[in-house]
């Protein structure tokens, strides 16, 4: 797909973010970046790198957050989503919808909200269309 730049990261939902960080640091030499909060979704996350790959740990900050629901319905931790970075989110979604894909949700942050030094625009593709995997499309623009 010409609108996909690359796999930007893989996100793991975990009930104990500190224990998970210790595991990835000690077993794989992961390098963690500062923790960030997505307040309106009730999620805190810690991005990290392993070799040339990016990942993140997700942890709920309240019981009705998407990550809390995932941990309950999945009976524990696991891959929450895979993020593909796209150049133009609107064009990517238009192309996917032409191919029959369903957008499960689209998220727009307030103008002053940034993560990891970028302004993010994002959408999620319905897992039923992607073999049970929640696909996250993200457009990232530097501040």
Domain ranges of the chain: 4-142
40 — pLDDT class (breaks 50, 70, 90)? confident
Instruction: Give the fold, CATH level 3, of 4-142.
Output: 2,3-Dihydroxybiphenyl 1,2-Dioxygenase; domain 1 (3.10.180)
In this prediction, residue 1 carries a pLDDT of: 60
C-alpha to C-alpha distance for 126 and 115, rounded to whole angstroms: 24
- Percentage of the chain surpassing pLDDT 70? 99
Question: Span 37-44, mean pLDDT?
Answer: 92
Nearest to 46 by CA among 62, 64, 67, 63: 67
Question: Span 65-79, mean pLDDT?
Answer: 92
Task: Tell me, yes or no, if the pTM score tops 0.85.
Answer: yes
**What tokens appear for 60 in the block?**
């709920």
In this prediction, residue 37 carries a pLDDT of: 94
């Amino acid at each position: 797909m010409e609108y996909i730049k690359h796999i930007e990261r893989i996100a793991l939902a975990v009930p104990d973010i500190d224990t998970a960080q210790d595991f990835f640091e000690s077993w794989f030499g992961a390098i963690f970046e500062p923790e960030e909060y997505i307040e309106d979704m009730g999620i805190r996350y810690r991005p990290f790198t392993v070799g040339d790959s990016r990942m993140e740990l997700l942890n709920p900050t309240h019981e009705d957050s998407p990550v809390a629901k995932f941990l309950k319905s999945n009976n524990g931790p696991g891959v929450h989503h895979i993020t593909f970075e796209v150049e133009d989110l609107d064009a990517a979604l238009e192309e996917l919808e032409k191919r029959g894909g369903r957008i499960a949700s689209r998220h727009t942050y307030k103008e002053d909200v940034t993560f990891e030094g970028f302004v993010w625009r994002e959408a999620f593709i319905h897992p039923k269309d992607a073999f049970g995997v929640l696909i996250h499309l993200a457009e990232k623009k530097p501040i």
